[in-house]
Structure 1
Amino acid sequence: MHIKDDDTLLFIGDSITDAGRDRADATSLGNGYVHEIARSLRGRAPGGPGPRVINRGINGQRVYDLEPRWATDVIGHRPTVVTVKIGINDTWRRYDGGLLSPVAEFGACLDRLLARTAHELSARLVVITPFLLPVLPGQEDWFEDLAPRTEAVLRAAADNGAQVVRADLLLPRAAQDRPAAELAGDGVHPTPLGHRLIADAWLAAVGSPAPDPVR
């Protein structure tokens, strides 16, 4: 996939995408990986603004919260590339509030959203996998719920031709060389370094220049 200057890139998800954006300002990108991606793409477009970037992350949301606002927050913007980052709250709410999100229902909901987007927009789809870097007591137990949920994300992506950015592999690999809290202070929300790593992975997988023709 090659990102062009006339593309509209829309990012949607939970607080990791939201990253403190000003919801009163439609152009606000927050201070996380979406901002880093936009900044990098602008730097590659001398003399022009680069692709349009829209952030529609909302903190605390689960996959079911995305569905009621999909028509307005995704379809209505007519994006050409849609990136979804969702899933950790579907796991987290089980452990801090007893609110269950059955993996089969979670996967079916994500599949519906991706399929609808591909059908109505013919948009290119990107999915960033949920991740966890255990920092706080008890977080290791979350993998019982998160591991099958991540597999459901991968299945939905594959079934809808979505490109995948494997944050669930990237961040644990980075944590082998530094304390996990340097990447996500609470195990979930990335630090500036964690956001930069996600942005770099997205740019490498999605926003890289088109490959040279086979010689």
Structure 2
Amino acid sequence: MHIEDTHIADTPFKEADTLLFIGDSITDAGRDRTDFASLGSGYVNEIARTLHDRANGRTGPAVINRGINGNRVYDLEARWTTDVIDHRPTVVTVKIGINDTWRRYDSGLASPVDEFEACLDRLLADTARELSARLVVITPFLLPVTAEQEGWFEDLTPRTEAVLRAATANGARLVRADLAMLSAREQYEAAELARDGVHPSPVGHRIIADAWLAAVGSAALTPEPRG
């Protein structure tokens, strides 16, 4: 008797997997929060559509979007239990950081890098412990469209380094959206990728989705213990 493999073709996922994405407006992407199944119109939806296409008629893994526009890392921590842990996902993708920088410049609201890193580290470590979930972290990015935004890198560069450290410390798969967007600047103007330098256009969202799929969607996802 032939037992059919439940892995989805060309991906490391099974139909029983639940992929949960959490973050700020870049993840939110206008999703309908009254509809649990809504994925918004951004990179999460692009990833889900690609995985569905690869499933060759099967259902494919479940995909949940829990992005909320305007969130900083502390907002994620406040809702982590209900929006992440309670859903029992098998893969958790986190994209956070740009609002922690942005609010410093438009509202004078500080998010010290060491506190930001400690909070993100807690979330990743707690998730790995509570769920044994596979972790994925997408780096923040900025494509300056104004002279003022050029100055944001004073805050964002060390914050991105903090994201990299927290991800590495917790064995998370890294998706370098910052490098992917920078590479895309060879073909597109900054405003074509993110009109305000932060929120991606459809092209920008597809670039993030492709970076996630390249790093995660066709590679083994094996949790690594903290060192």
- What is the TM-score of this pair, normalised by structure 2? 0.91
Identity %: 76
Structure 2 counterpart of 1:125, from 135, 138, 141? 135
Structure 2 counterpart of 1:7, from 10, 14, 17? 17
2:86 alignment counterpart: 76
Aligned length: 211
Letter in 1 for 2:159: R
Letter in 2 for 1:200: D
2:7 alignment counterpart: none
Shift of 1:137: 3.2
Letter in 1 for 2:210: D
2:4 alignment counterpart: none
Shift of 1:210: 5.3
- 2-side partners of 1:164 and 1:69: how far apart? 23
- 1-side partners of 2:27 and 2:108: how far apart? 24
1:33 alignment counterpart: 43
Answer yes or no: is the 8 Å Cα contact 1:3–1:209 preserved in 2.
Answer: no
1:189 alignment counterpart: 199
For residues 1-215 of structure 1, what are the structure 2 equivalents within 5 Å? 2-208=12-218
In structure 2, stretches of 5+ residues that fail to align are 1-10, 222-227
Of residues 54-63 and 173-182 in structure 1, the stretch that sits farther from structure 2 once superposed is 173-182
- 2-side partners of 1:185 and 1:118: how far apart? 36
Question: Which string of whole-angstrom CA distances, capped at 9 and with x for unpartnered residues, describes residues 151-203 of structure 1?
Answer: 00000000000010001111011112221111000000000000001001101
Could you list the structure 1 runs, at least 4 aligned residues long, displaced by more than 2 angstroms after superposition.
none
Pick closer, same or farther for the CA change 1:164–1:209 going to 2, 3 Å: closer
Shift of 1:209: 5.6
Of residues 40-49 and 106-115 in structure 1, the stretch that sits farther from structure 2 once superposed is 40-49
Answer yes or no: is the 8 Å Cα contact 1:3–1:206 preserved in 2.
Answer: no
- 2-side partners of 1:116 and 1:57: how far apart? 19
- What is the TM-score of this pair, normalised by structure 1? 0.96
- 2-side partners of 1:133 and 1:32: how far apart? 17
In structure 1, stretches of 5+ residues that fail to align are none
Q: Secondary structure at the match of 1:206?
A: helix
- 2-side partners of 1:148 and 1:27: how far apart? 35
